[in-house]
Amino acid sequence: MFRMPAEWMPHERCWMIWPRRAEVWLERMAATKRAYAEVARTIARFEPVTMIASPDDLAEAKALCGEGIDLLGLEVDDSWARDSAPCFVHDGEELRAAAFQFNAWGGKYHPHDKDAAMGAALARHLGTALIAGGIVAEGGAISVDGQGTALTTESCLLNPNRNPGKSKAEVEAALKAALGLEKVIWLPGDLEETETDGHVDGIAVFAGPGRVIIEVPTDESLSYADALRANMEVLRDARDAQGRAFEIIELAATESHDAEGTGVCSNYVNFYIANGAVIAPSYGIAEDAVARGILAQAFPEREVVQVPVADIAIGGGGIHCITQQQPVVAKAHA
């Protein structure tokens, strides 16, 4: 059975995409590129990293990323590998690329045809088969435990801008078929988050079998406090594919850095689990240390490394959004 492994399972490498869409980053583009390079170099301490870049950006990416980062020239529109790159699945012997239809988060950006073709392009580069996801979806909308359970949100995948005319059951069936799932847990999500329409990787993510890290409000007056509470209520009552109730680890939200005009993505849940490490966001505020401590307790066997993300967050995402793991296929390395 082909299944998407959990993110904490061993990685062959991490894929990233060099920033490209000028209207997203505007005058911060140079700083954003430096921030992407820092994330890439940090992850490369723990696992190989390949930075995809448009051919005319390859020299710049190489200069800023340094010698330790592999480069691949492919035409791209935007820079969110979690969403335009495929989700990788395997059966223990063979790797496949599960590519959902990509419409730039409900048609928010144009053009996006090059990003829509990224799944197929990467599958060709790797010489692996492509699994058509059958629905409009993004990798950031899904978190899996590698044992048959996924978390996702209604506000995203059931949004009319993604899959109009498809029922919840139809969307769920497509997720199960593409990623080898047995159960999908639907959190309400966040309708007020207008960039991704409430991607789950900014709300709640698996941290281990039967363990979920979820964002909680620090201030009940925050505009999205009701949404966070609703997500928590569903998760408390849910059971995974193995019948387990969840151990829930709370990680506080923050809007403290919004005063500087950043904060489009302003949470600590959007981290990347690398081989032997957790690469987590920092915003230069007091809450950084608290978040680091919680993640260190949640992943005691991994080094927690925080990387500044303000120049990434202004584009609407964080560290998890700009990365996509390719799992090790154990028998291929036997």
Angular region, 165: left φ>0, alpha ψ -120 to 50, beta rest: left
With b for 16 or more beta-carbon neighbours within 10 A and e for fewer, the 168-197 pattern comes to eeebbbbbebbbbbebbbbbbbbeebebbb
Closest CA to 134 of 83, 184, 173: 173
Q: Cα–Cα distance between 25 and 224 in angstroms, integer?
A: 25
In this structure, the strands spanning 87-90 and 95-101 are antiparallel
What distance in Å separates the CA atoms of residue 133 and residue 120, rounded to the nearest whole number? 12
321 assigned to active site: yes
Q: Which of 218, 278, 206 is nearest to 246 (CA)?
A: 206
Measured CA to CA, the distance from residue 27 to residue 138 in angstroms comes to 27
Q: Exactly one of 65, 87, 265, 321 is catalytic; which is it?
A: 321
Give the active site residues.
Answer: 321
